[in-house]
Every structure is written in structure tokens, then in C-alpha cells.
Amino acid sequence: MPRVNRTAVLSLLIVSSSAFLLFQLYYYRKYVSKLPGPHILSQTGHLTASDVQWQTVKKFLALAQRFGLPLFLADTTALTLLSHDALRQRDRLVREPHCSFLCTGRPITSFALHANLWKYEPSFLLAAEQKGFELLELRGEDPRLASLDTLSGQEIPLHFLFRLHGYIIHVVFLYERSGNYLWSGALRLRADADRSFAPFKLLDYGRHAGAYDRPELVLTVLDGLDVRIPRNVSRFLSELRHARFLECRYREARNFLQMYPDDASPVAVEFRRKVKLLLHLASRTLAALNIPFWLSSGTCLGWFRQCSVISYSRDVDIGVFISDFSSDIIGAFTDAGLSLKHKFGKVEDSLELSFLSDDVKLDMFFFYEDGDVVWNGGTQAKSGRKFKYVFPPFSLCWAELLELKVRVPCETLDYVTANYGAAWNVPVRSWDWKTSPSNVQENGVWPPAEWAELIQVY
């Protein structure tokens, strides 16, 4: 039996090891070195779903930076992971470099785009296509151009959906509105659209139009990538949960005004000017107290029916849930220059405040939730009689009135019908608050011994 040449065996082992190392180096340079970030390669040596998602986001952000897109991260799942509690939890669970925020386990990553800060660039879409992205562009009418005179405007981009390797980059366009807020449109697929392009039910945006305050943005590094995010993530996420926006019904309003022309007298024009100032002032005052309110009664009817205020109503009506009541309200409105006209009821029952500003009255009705109904109270000062106005439950949406972002009941038709009946679309100039509303009910009498406290008129 011939002796084994140790030198030859050693040389063979060296050559084999070198060949294996060269193969590893080739694999690394071809596949992995293109991902210079966390979670570069899984323990199995293959690209994982997180790797592919991270690479997709990286490629898209590079394109956005190249073309100057003013993007910021608006993905609810990714932003939720930015909370301190989530960070501590993930640090305990994962002790190695990983894709912590942008790899959410969902096939979608959402970004928002300040549309007014970016000039539409077809070259950007071409570059994205050259990088392998497929695009579904969704457009809609520009509501900023709609009015009682012009019912529709030109189409504008509302949503971009980019697809690569099965992952979706969703870009939602945010447009500035006259009320100094940002607006996004609903995502509506045309009849010939590819409904398998993306998992549309999983999108964070597009189920309905939305309204948002303009967030302050900061540049940070997430998973090795430069990304802009809202400075106050918690506030931004809270806004998203209540962002639904209802557009004024211009077509119906124009039809109404053709049948019942609006009052164009100097008195009516001056009243609308005063109402605008009063609403803006009330909004600022309640916002400083962190108290949400909505348009109620005749003011809500005016927005819903004619996209304006009812000039012969002579007051402004707003609603506030009693759970949001603050004892600072009267002092804050007084400091803002409004005088208290009356205070009826108490926090536990039928509270109502009324303020006066330049001969225009602001009525603030407090609403109580009682089982499957919601109600607000009314009081007749001279008799102590109590009344109750009952509504079906409702949620709150954003709308715009007189260049102000305001809340209205999302179920506006139900709300208005409850208050004004099925004939709400017919003007009624003679109105008795104790008998005219469809939803009014007798609710007893305040004890005379408590009138001094519960019926205060100034």
C-alpha cells in the first residue's frame, strides 16, 4: 500500500478551502453586499422575506431622494414600533442586528407625500419602472376646485402603488386645503383596474378621504436608512384613527339654492362674516383646552344642506360630549372676548352654555350617551321646564366650513333627520325650539329651589 503524501493532501485541502472561500466571497458580493444594513443575511444563508422587503424600501427611498420627493414614513405598523415600549420589548426578544421597523411582516409600507412641495415628474415614474417597480396610479377630482359654481375640477394623483418582488410601496398624496390642513383622497378603483395588484384591504389609507394637521417632521435613521418621520409619532397615529373627512355636497347644495336662493343682502353677508370669525375663535379656544366639538343643530344643517350657514338662523350651534367637559371653558371663552349669556343645567344633566360675540350667539350643547341613544338637554328659563333632544349614536368626521376644518357627525343624514325630520331639505323660518324639532321630548321641571344655580341668565 503506497504511503500518503502529506504535502499533497495538505495542498488539496488548502485548494479546496480557498475555492470554498472564493465561492462565499462571490455570493456575498453578488447578493449580500447590496444590502448594507441590518439583517443582511438570515442564519440559513438565504435572503428572507424581511431582507427582500428591506431591499425594496431601500431602492424606493433612493429613488425618492434622487427626484426630491418630500416623503415621510406614514405606515401605522412601522410607526407603532417606534414607541418606547415596543423598542424595549423588541430589544429583549432580538439581540442581533435586524430589520426592526421597516420589516413589519405586512406586504405594504406606506409613505405620505406633500403634494404641494413636489412637482409631478414623469421621469420619476420612468426611473421606478427601470428599477423593476410596477405602478398603479390612482387619480380623482381635485375638491379644492369644486364649488357651487363648478361641480368638478381636474383630476389629480391621489395614490401611487409601487410593486416589486410582491411588496407594495403605498404613497398617499397630501394636499393643502384652505382651512390650513392636509387632505388625502379616497382610493377608488376604476372598472378596468387590476384588483389583484395589491391587497387593498390592508392599506392604511384610502378607505375614505382624510384630514390631518400638518406634522412636524424629523430626519432619522431606521434600519440603516434615512427616513423622515413625524416628530410626535403618538399624536400622528391618534390623528389617523380619527381622520375621516366628508366633502361638502356641492351638487345637492346647488340644487337646493336654485330652488331657495340664498340671501345676498348686506345684513346676511355681514352675518356670515361674523359667524366665520366666531367659529374660528371657538375652534382655537376649544383646541387649546383639547376639547373636540362638532357642528350641531342649524349650523350642521347649513353645512349639510347648502355648504354654508343659514343666514336667518342668527346663531351658531356646536356640540360637545359631556365626557369632554372642562370647568375651564367659561374662563377660556371669557378671556377670548366672548361674554357668557346663559348657563343652564349641570354637568350631570342637561348642561348648556351660551356665549355672545358681536350680537351673534354661540350655543354649546353638551351631549350625553344613554344606552343606544345620545341626547342633549334644553331649559326654558321662565318656567324651569326641561327638554331632551334624542339622536341615534354617531361618530365624528372632519369637514370644512368657512375655511375651517371642523367636525360633523359622520352619519350626518341620520343626525339631521332626527333633529329636523324627513323634510329637512325645506327651509323653515318660523322655528320653536320647544316644539318644532322632531326629536324633542319633555324631560320634567327643574326644582324651583335650584333655579338660582341651574338657570343663570346674564
pLDDT tops 70 at residue 34: no
Indicate where the chain has its CATH 3.30.460 domain(s).
36-189+198-241, 250-457
pLDDT digits (tens, 9 = 90+) for 308-319: 999 988 899 999
Work out the average pLDDT over 196-217: 95
pLDDT band, residue 96 (cuts 50/70/90): very low
pLDDT tops 70 at residue 87: no
Residue 145 CB: number of other CB atoms within 10 A?
12
β 360-370/155-164 pair status: unpaired
- Note the pLDDT of residue 23: 55
User: Is the Cβ–Cβ distance between 206 and 187 less than 8 Å?
Assistant: yes
Fold of 36-189+198-241: Beta Polymerase; domain 2 (3.30.460)
pLDDT band, residue 1 (cuts 50/70/90): very low
| DSSP annotation of 448 | G
User: Is the Cβ–Cβ distance between 413 and 346 less than 8 Å?
Assistant: no
pLDDT digits (tens, 9 = 90+) for 103-123: 888 999 999 999 988 887 789
Q: Which run of H or E residues covers position 109?
A: strand 108-114
Rounded to whole angstroms, the Cα distance separating 8 from 17 reads 14
pLDDT band, residue 11 (cuts 50/70/90): low
Q: How many residues does the chain have?
A: 458
Work out the average pLDDT over 124-147: 92
Collapsing DSSP states into helix, strand and coil, what is residue 406? strand
β 108-114/167-177 pair status: parallel
pLDDT band, residue 90 (cuts 50/70/90): low
Fold of 250-457: Beta Polymerase; domain 2 (3.30.460)
- Note the pLDDT of residue 22: 57
- Note the pLDDT of residue 95: 45
Which of 335, 165, 151, 338 has its CA nearest to residue 253?
151
Work out the average pLDDT over 73-99: 69
pLDDT digits (tens, 9 = 90+) for 322-375: 999 999 999 999 999 999 999 999 999 999 999 999 889 999 999 999 999 999
Work out the average pLDDT over 401-409: 97
The winner for highest mean pLDDT among 74-78, 93-97, 103-107 is: 74-78
